Each structure stands twice: as structure tokens, then as C-alpha cells.
């Protein structure tokens, strides 16, 4: 490869690298979209799960309250029966034992009534909570739909830009010498997309290692492809490419 050919080749590599970096950026933005959507979806689902939990708690408290009401009713029936028995017992001992039973049931009932009131208050507050959560959930769902639509729009734009860039790359690549391109691609893979760098002062623009004077001169002359001994990237001199 002659000097002019090499310089032309390095120029094209710089162009390709620019395109590749843009492609990488576009691709990473594209890859991020479904991840972002799924994160939002998870948040929404978690919120909906909370609502389901809330509903379950209300159901549970309602059943417990019903059970307590049944117990209360049954105790009241027993009380009626005992009260009636008070008139027919024969001994004082039976009488006082019955009174004791009656007091015991009254005491229990008073507890049950307190429990029922407490449960009803709990149900009440949980129902309020549920109502608020449902409203919030609808808002979150709407927001999710809006954001998802927005992301899908971005995705479409990015895909178009990506296709354009790939097209551009195809056109540029046609003019590239194959072995130089292969070298670029090999280095690019291992160096996170940065395969060709310019000299900055006396140093490599990729890893900052100082390049010996002799090598710098060779780079400036552009008579052969030179890679940095520090990082292995292809080196060029901005001046020479102008
Ligand atoms: Zn280097």
C-alpha cells in the first residue's frame, strides 16, 4: 500500500469508526427501551398486586366480622335461655351458678362487640385505601400507556436512524482496503469500539503512553500502519490526514 493509499485508508477508518460509535450508541439506546418499558410494567404490576392484597385483607376481615356476629347472636340466644332458667331453678347453688354463667357470657359478648367495632373500622379504612389505590392505579396505567407509546415512537426513530447509519457504513466500507479493515475490526472488538486514535502531542490518544520520536515521525509520514505499543490501537496524525 502506498503512502497516499494508506492515508486515504486511515481517513476512511476514522469515518467508519465514527459511524460505528454512533451505531453503538443507537443500538444501546434501542436495547434500553424494552428494559425501561418492562421496569415500568413491573412497577405497575406490583402496584396492582398491592390492590389484590388489600382486597384479600378486606375479605378476610369481613368473614371474621360475620363469624363474630354469629357467635354474638348465638350467645344472646344462650343468654335468653339462661335468663328463662333463672325462674325455674330449684336451689340457690344452681341459681348462683346460672348467674355466674350469665355474667360470663355478657362479659364475652362485650369483648366480641368491641372486636366487631374494631373490625368494621379496619374494613372501613381499608376500603378507603382501596378506593384511593384504584384511582392511583388507573393514573399509573394511563401514564404507563403514554410512556410506552412514547418509547415505541423513539424505538421507531432509532431503528430508522440505525438503518441509515448501516447504509452509510456499507457505502464507506466499499472503499476500504480489506486487510486494513480487518485490522480495524479486530482492534475495535477488543478496545470497546475505539480502534484508531490520533497522536495527541507526543502521546497516544487512546492510552496516553508516550510514543517514541522515531515512531512519531513514521506516523506523520504515513508510510505504514503503526499501532501503539501501549494499547495496540492504530495511530494516525491529524496533520497528515488533512
Ligand atoms: Zn495507546
CA of 226 to the centre of ligand 1 (A): 11
CA of 183 to the centre of ligand 1 (A): 15
CA of 210 to the centre of ligand 1 (A): 8
CA of 215 to the centre of ligand 1 (A): 13
Other Cβ atoms within 10 Å of 139 Cβ, number: 10
Identify the bridge partners of residue 204 per DSSP, sorted by sequence position. 199
CA of 196 to the centre of ligand 1 (A): 9
CA of 169 to the centre of ligand 1 (A): 25
Can you give the residue ranges of every domain in the chain?
A: 29-168, 180-241
Q: The C-alpha cell of 129 is what?
A: 385505601
CA of 29 to the centre of ligand 1 (A): 28
Sign of the CA dihedral 30, 26, 180, 216?
negative
CA of 238 to the centre of ligand 1 (A): 16
Is the pLDDT assigned to residue 151 strictly greater than 90? yes
How far apart are the C-alpha atoms of 94 and 86, rounded to whole Å?
9
Does domain 29-168 bear CATH number 1.20.1050.10? no
pLDDT tens string 109-148: 999 999 999 999 999 999 999 999 999 999 999 999 999 9
Between strands 196-200 and 234-236, the pairing is parallel
pLDDT tens string 159-215: 999 999 999 999 999 988 899 999 999 999 999 999 999 999 999 999 999 999 999
**What is the helix (H) or strand (E) element at residue 1, kind and residue range?**
none
- Indicate yes or no: pTM above 0.85: no
Amino acid at each position: 500500500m502506498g503512502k497516499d493509499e494508506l492515508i486515504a485508508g486511515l481517513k476512511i477508518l476514522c469515518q467508519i469508526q465514527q459511524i460505528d460509535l454512533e451505531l453503538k450508541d443507537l443500538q444501546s439506546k434501542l436495547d434500553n427501551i424494552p428494559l425501561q418499558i418492562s421496569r415500568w410494567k413491573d412497577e405497575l404490576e406490583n402496584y396492582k398486586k398491592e390492590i389484590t392484597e388489600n382486597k384479600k385483607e378486606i375479605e378476610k376481615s369481613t368473614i371474621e366480622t360475620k363469624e363474630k356476629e354469629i357467635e354474638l347472636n348465638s350467645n344472646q340466644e344462650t343468654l335468653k335461655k339462661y335468663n328463662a332458667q333463672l325462674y325455674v331453678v330449684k336451689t340457690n347453688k344452681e341459681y348462683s351458678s346460672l348467674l355466674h354463667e350469665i355474667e360470663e357470657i355478657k362479659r364475652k359478648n362485650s369483648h366480641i362487640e368491641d372486636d366487631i367495632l374494631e373490625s368494621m373500622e379496619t374494613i372501613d379504612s381499608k376500603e378507603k385505601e382501596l378506593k384511593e389505590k384504584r384511582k392511583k392505579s388507573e393514573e399509573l396505567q394511563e401514564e404507563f400507556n403514554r410512556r410506552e407509546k412514547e418509547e415505541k415512537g423513539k424505538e421507531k426513530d432509532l431503528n430508522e436512524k440505525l438503518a441509515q447509519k448501516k447504509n452509510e457504513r456499507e457505502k464507506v466500507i466499499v472503499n476500504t482496503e480489506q486487510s486494513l479493515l480487518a485490522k480495524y475490526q479486530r482492534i475495535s472488538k477488543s478496545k470497546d469500539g475505539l480502534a484508531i486514535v490520533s497522536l495527541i502531542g507526543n502521546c497516544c490518544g487512546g492510552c496516553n503512553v508516550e510514543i517514541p520520536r522515531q515512531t512519531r515521525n513514521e506516523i506523520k509520514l504515513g508510510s505504514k500502519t503503526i499501532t501503539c505499543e501501549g494499547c495496540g490501537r492504530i495511530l494516525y496524525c491529524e496533520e497528515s490526514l488533512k
